[in-house]
Amino acid sequence: MPDIDEEIRDTSKGMTSIVKTVVRFALGIIVIFGAYIVLYGHLTPGGGFAGGVILACGYIVLTLAFGRQIALRKMNNKAASILDTSGVLAFLAIGLLGYTGGYFFLNFLGRGKMFDLVSAGTIPLCNIAIGLKVTASLFAIFLALSIFGRFISSLVDEDE
């Protein structure tokens, strides 16, 4: 992709081209690993929160290396907030769907075979909802603090 190469050569935004190149290779691995942790949360250690943190860290690395513009193009403040909210609502909806079997948060889907990817009923769905929520909200917190931090540092400059 030519525009990415230009971004890497452009030293005015973000960090040096070494960091940018490394991040470009590592980012895919980070995202895949995060998605793996979320999806396999019901079989191995991990789950929605841990995977979501890894995914959010992917975005944060992107922001640090390339500057805010590129990261905001992938997911801006508003999109993060909407994803965050829909994650919560999805989780709550899974809980309410349990009423089809008579209880709040009842695991109403079939359990499936042990150690299969599609098993354990609603738990993988819960993990995905939590992963969505954690990714979006951690990234939103990071964005909010970094925008605010820039504002604060401009205040400091004024004082000096």
137: CB partners within 8 A, 6+ apart = 80, 84, 87
User: By C-beta, is 70 or 72 nearer to other proteins?
Assistant: 72
Q: What x-and-dash track marks residues 63-82 binding other proteins by CB under 8 A?
A: ---------------x--xx
The binder of other proteins chosen from 103, 111, 117, 118 (CB under 8 A): 103
Rule CB under 8 A: is residue 44 a binding residue for other proteins? yes
For the chain, give the number of residues.
160
Nearest one of 126, 63, 62, 51 to 90, comparing CA atoms: 126
Are residues 80 and 140 in contact, defined by beta-carbon separation less than 8 angstroms? yes
Interface region with other proteins, contact rule CB under 8 A, candidates 17-25, 60-68, 69-77, 152-160: 152-160
**Treating both helix axes as pointing N-terminal to C-terminal, what angle do 77-97 and 123-159 enclose, rounded to 10 degrees?**
150
Nearest one of 96, 28, 109 to 61, comparing CA atoms: 28
Interface region with other proteins, contact rule CB under 8 A, candidates 20-28, 54-62, 67-75, 94-102: 94-102
- For other proteins, the binding residues (CB under 8 A) are 44-45, 49, 78, 81-82, 85-86, 88-89, 92, 95-96, 98-99, 101-107, 115, 141, 144-145, 148-149, 151-152, 155, 159
